[in-house]
Amino acid sequence: MRALVRRVSRASVKVEGQVVGKINQGLLVYLGVHHDDEHEDLDWLSQKILGLRIFEDDYGKMNLSVLPEQGILLISQFTLFGNLKKGYRPSFNRAADPKKAEELFNQFYTKLGTLFQGNLASGVFGADMKIEAIDDGPVTIWLDSQERNY
């Protein structure tokens, strides 16, 4: 699994002109599922995201994880597995098939919901989504459950 995690002042997602998810301060998480991903990837990535110390403490240092009074907005994004090795048109052959991806995306959302007590929202899997966000910092973190050494 891959996640692009953005610290935001606020974020929202619309489907067909209707807001389906929104948060104030917190994390906007774009999640891609690889065809080899399993539950272990889901567990590792959820712990990493919730443990990220990217919010400032009283001294202005990034020492705090996402707090219950904040939120997480989760967006499915298979394009995180885009590969440009053979030219300019991305190949997405490393992304999981839609059925598996949706299943793991939903399980990831459920897992976050059991571990995080704040506002948890999401887009609609497979839908054409319009996302608005105000980055805070900016702070952007890239996580990959199959490349854990960075």
- Distance, first Cα to last Cα, the chain: 15
Residue 122 tokens read as 């999401």
* Active site residue ranges: 77-79
- Name the one residue in this structure whose structure tokens are 């009074």: 69
Residue 3 tokens read as 């996640």
Q: Evaluate whether 21 touches 27 at the Cβ level (below 8 Å).
A: no
- Torsion angle in degrees (nearest 10) through CA of 102, 74, 22, 124: -10
> Which of 120, 121, 122, 134 has its CA nearest to residue 9?
134
